[in-house]
């Protein structure tokens, strides 16, 4: 046995403890672990592990926001930030792992645990890997790095001719417990008000999640409560949940970027659901049956606005049980500099689809008998370190039996193509098509501002259908100012139109286009999904009500 271990030791960089017959990987330097540098030694150990090993122990290495071993980050203000920040507690990380002591080690569960941890709003990156192998047992280490989660909400923005601002604070990892606390006052072109919020991604250490939100605006309110046990893993066998939402807000109708009508909309929404996986075989497609019940009540009234509508939308009630089906392929890859800057991106590259049908009938208290339709299809057509091409489409709406017509049918098709020209350069092209039929009077298909056609006011064109195409040349720089955020640049062209097929669309109602340049800021110490966009856009087709240039300041969930 000693001869075998000696030969094994000479053939690899792994150290072998002959007395205990263990293969052990030397501990990675703290600064390398902080920056999640690749470790060939750990990769070699993973490849040599046999099937059926038992997890003997799990150790944790938890890093704060800044690296004290890096001279560029070892200063008084960053050290103060580390001292003020509460590092995520071990039990919080343990609650989200798919491995536990005494369970069988499966590499796919370690990889999925990494994705789950990285998806948490308070984790910058995560690694879950074996570091020691002894007989039929293996020891696991979990390495995580926190982001700064206490965020004063002091912001100002402008998009499509509208100003917005916010004041308050949010902590998405309160005292290192993973709980989110929110208190905020915000104001935009539509409304202003206060928001209180609390969410728990692992109630009492379980797989159940909870979210409570209370918003009081000057034109209404938004109260919601959600409790659910989602399919937290691709191979989880069941899910269940429910939500309650009560909302009152002032709806706006738009034309050429101006509000042409305002009225009150009160909505109640109650939903319970469950899901059962048909089979959960590893490395295969996972199929799930979904079922539940949903109730929605919509009521409309005149507000004190000086722009009342000619007629209010019809009050209506939807009340329906539903059944559906979902299919998911377990395929992911890790990419860098696609949607974000300098972050590990877990990109789903398989095929995923779902559909559900419901019956909203008068016997359930609904306004009329209707078939409820909801479907979505997502597929990654190409996925490599150089190319990423995603296709997505979704459909929702109601089919009314009495007059054989659609109500609020909305079909959207979107495709996004990324071509990685080099480590820092990427060419992006995106196409989005929206089509609707039988929209109720409070709904519009809009285009302009941040949702397309950046050279025009928000909601500049309206209709029952739209198409917009974007071409962007992106640059992901290596500049990391103050070790706080990464910087990107973009040059873009937008071409699109929203219109009614059989109505007069007014002046400047044809195809519009703009071009511009933009700055992208993605914090390396805060949530990766908050990408700051600063764009200057210049419209090609102008009318008297179109400015020569639009300045947009927005925060989006991607580059």
pLDDT of res. 20: 58
Handedness of CA 225, 178, 553, 541 (dihedral sign): negative
Q: Provide the pLDDT for residue 527.
A: 81
- Report the distance separating Cα 73 and Cα 546, nearest Å: 46
What are the Cα distances from residue 450, in Å, to 447, 458, 503?
A: 9, 7, 25
- Ordered structural domains, the chain, with CATH: 29-146 (3.10.20.310), 163-556 (2.40.160.50)
What is the model's pLDDT at position 451?
Answer: 86
559 residues of the chain, pLDDT tens digit each: 333 333 333 344 555 554 457 899 998 888 888 889 889 999 999 999 999 999 999 999 999 999 998 898 999 999 999 999 999 999 999 999 999 999 999 999 999 999 999 999 999 999 999 999 999 999 999 999 999 999 887 766 666 566 777 788 889 999 999 999 999 888 776 667 889 999 999 999 999 999 999 999 877 899 999 999 999 999 899 999 999 999 998 899 999 888 999 999 999 999 999 999 987 677 678 999 999 999 999 999 999 889 999 999 999 999 999 999 999 998 899 998 999 998 889 998 989 999 999 999 999 999 999 999 999 999 999 999 899 999 999 999 999 999 999 999 999 999 999 999 999 999 999 999 999 999 999 999 999 988 889 999 999 999 999 999 999 999 999 999 999 999 999 999 999 999 998 888 878 889 999 999 999 999 999 887 789 999 999 999 888 788 999 999 998 888 9
The tokens describing 323, both together, are: 């059944």
pLDDT at res. 159: 60
Burial class (CB in 10 A: 0-12, 13-18, 19+), 190: middle
**Radius of gyration for the chain, computed over Cα atoms and rounded to the nearest angstrom:** 26
> Which pLDDT does position 15 carry in this prediction?
57
Distances (CA, A) of 496 to 108, 451, 509: 43, 11, 11
**Cα first-last separation, the chain:** 55
Alpha-carbon distance 92 to 111, whole Å?
18
What's the pLDDT at 190?
Answer: 66
């Amino acid at each position: 046995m000693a001869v075998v271990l000696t030969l094994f030791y000479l053939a690899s960089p792994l150290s072998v403890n002959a007395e205990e017959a263990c293969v052990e990987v030397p501990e990675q330097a703290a600064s390398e672990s902080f920056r999640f540098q690749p470790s060939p030694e750990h990769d070699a150990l993973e490849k040599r592990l046999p099937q059926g090993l038992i997890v003997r122990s799990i150790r944790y290495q938890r890093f704060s926001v800044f690296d004290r071993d890096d001279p560029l980050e070892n200063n008084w203000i960053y050290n103060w930030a580390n001292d003020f920040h509460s590092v995520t507690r071990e039990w919080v990380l343990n609650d989200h792992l798919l491995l536990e002591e005494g369970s069988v080690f499966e590499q796919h569960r370690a990889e999925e645990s990494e994705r789950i941890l990285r998806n948490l709003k308070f984790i910058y990156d995560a690694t879950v890997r074996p570091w020691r192998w002894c007989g039929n047992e293996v020891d696991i280490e979990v390495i995580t790095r926190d982001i700064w989660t206490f965020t004063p909400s002091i912001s100002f923005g402008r998009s499509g001719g509208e100003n917005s601002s916010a004041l308050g604070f949010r902590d998405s990892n309160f005292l290192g417990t993973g709980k989110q606390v929110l208190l905020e006052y915000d104001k935009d072109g539509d409304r202003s008000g206060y928001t209180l919020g609390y969410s728990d991604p692992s109630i009492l250490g379980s797989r159940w999640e909870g979210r409570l939100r209370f918003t009081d605006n000057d034109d209404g309110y938004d109260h919601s409560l959600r409790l659910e046990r989602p399919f937290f893993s691709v191979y989880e066998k069941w899910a269940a949940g429910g939500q309650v939402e009560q909302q009152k807000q002032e709806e706006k109708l738009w034309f050429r970027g101006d509000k042409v009508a305002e009225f009150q909309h009160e909505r109640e929404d109650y939903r319970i659901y469950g899901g059962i996986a048909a089979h959960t075989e590893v490395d295969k497609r996972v199929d799930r049956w979904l079922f539940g019940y949903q109730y929605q009540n919509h009521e409309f009234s005149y507000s004190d606005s000086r722009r009342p509508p000619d007629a209010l939308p019809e009050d209506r009630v939807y009340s329906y049980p539903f059944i559906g089906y979902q299919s998911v392929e377990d395929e992911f890859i890790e990419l860098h500099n696609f949607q974000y800057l300098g972050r590990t991106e877990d990109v789903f590259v398989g095929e995923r689809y779902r559909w559900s049908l419901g019956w909203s009938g008068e016997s359930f208290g609904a306004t009329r008998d209707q078939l409820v339709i909801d479907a979505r299809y997502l597929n990654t057509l190409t996925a490599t370190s150089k190319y990423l091409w995603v296709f997505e489409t979704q459909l929702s709406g109601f089919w009314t039996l009495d007059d054989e017509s659609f109500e609020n049918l909305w079909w959207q098709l979107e495709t996004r193509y990324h071509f990685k020209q080099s480590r820092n350069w990427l060419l992006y092209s995106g196409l989005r098509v929206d089509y609707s039929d039988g929209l109720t009077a409070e709904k519009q298909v809009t285009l302009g501002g941040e949702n397309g056609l950046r050279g025009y006011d928000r909601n500049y064109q309206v209709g029952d259908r739209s198409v917009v195409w974007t071409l962007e040349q992106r640059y992901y720089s290596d500049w990391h100012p103050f070790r706080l955020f990464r910087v990107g640049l973009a040059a873009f062209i937008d071409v699109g139109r929203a219109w009614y097929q059989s109505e007069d669309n007014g002046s400047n109602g044809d195809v519009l286009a703009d071009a511009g340049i933009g700055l992208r800021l993605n914090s390396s110490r805060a949530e990766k999904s908050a990408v700051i966009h600063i764009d200057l856009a210049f419209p090609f087709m102008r009318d008297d009500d179109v400015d020569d240039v639009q300045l947009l300041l927005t925060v989006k969930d991607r580059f």
